[in-house]
C-alpha cells in the first residue's frame, strides 16, 4: 500500500515537473516564427530591441505574461503586447526555457 502511494506520488512529481520545465526545442521553433525578427538570432538583441537571451526563466515568464495581460512595461510595450497576446502558458514556458538556454 505504501509502495503504491509513493509510486503514484513520484509519477505525479515527474509529470508536473515536465509540464513546468518548458521544452527548449519547441521554444526554439516558436521563437523562429516571429520573435527573431525583432530580437535577433537566439534573442541576442537587434538595434533598439532588447537582448532577451540567457535571462532567468521566472523573469521571462513574468514579462511575457505581463505583456499578454496588456500591461505596459517599457516605452515600446505596445509591440510586445501584440506579440504576447496569442501565446499559451505552454508556449511561454517553452520560449522561456529556450531563451534561458542561449548563453
Judged by the rule CB under 6 A, the positions of this chain that interact with ligand HEC are 34-35, 37-39, 49-50, 52, 60, 63-64, 73-77, 79-80, 83, 95
Query: Residue 4 Cβ, how far from ligand HEC at the closest point, in Å?
Result: 42
Judged by beta carbon, residue 10 or residue 76, the one nearer ligand HEC is: 76
> Residue 57 and residue 10: Cα distance in Å, rounded?
24
Query: Residue 74 Cβ, how far from ligand HEC at the closest point, in Å?
Result: 2
Query: Residue 29 Cβ, how far from ligand HEC at the closest point, in Å?
Result: 11
33 Cβ contact partners less than 8 Å away, ≥ 6 residues apart? none
> Residue 48 and residue 35: Cα distance in Å, rounded?
14
Radius of gyration of the chain (CA): 16
> Residue 70 and residue 53: Cα distance in Å, rounded?
23
Judged by beta carbon, residue 16 or residue 76, the one nearer ligand HEC is: 76
Judged by beta carbon, residue 1 or residue 33, the one nearer ligand HEC is: 33
Amino acid at each position: 500500500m505504501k509502495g503504491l502511494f509513493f509510486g503514484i506520488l513520484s509519477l505525479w512529481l515527474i509529470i508536473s515537473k515536465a509540464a513546468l520545465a518548458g521544452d527548449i526545442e519547441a521554444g526554439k521553433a516558436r521563437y523562429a516564427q516571429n520573435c527573431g525578427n525583432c530580437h535577433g538570432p537566439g534573442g541576442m538583441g537587434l538595434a533598439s530591441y532588447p537582448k532577451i537571451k540567457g535571462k532567468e526563466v521566472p523573469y521571462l515568464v513574468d514579462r511575457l505574461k505581463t505583456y499578454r495581460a496588456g500591461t505596459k512595461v517599457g516605452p515600446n510595450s505596445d509591440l510586445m503586447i501584440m506579440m504576447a497576446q496569442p501565446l499559451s502558458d505552454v508556449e511561454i514556458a517553452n520560449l522561456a526555457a529556450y531563451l534561458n538556454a542561449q548563453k
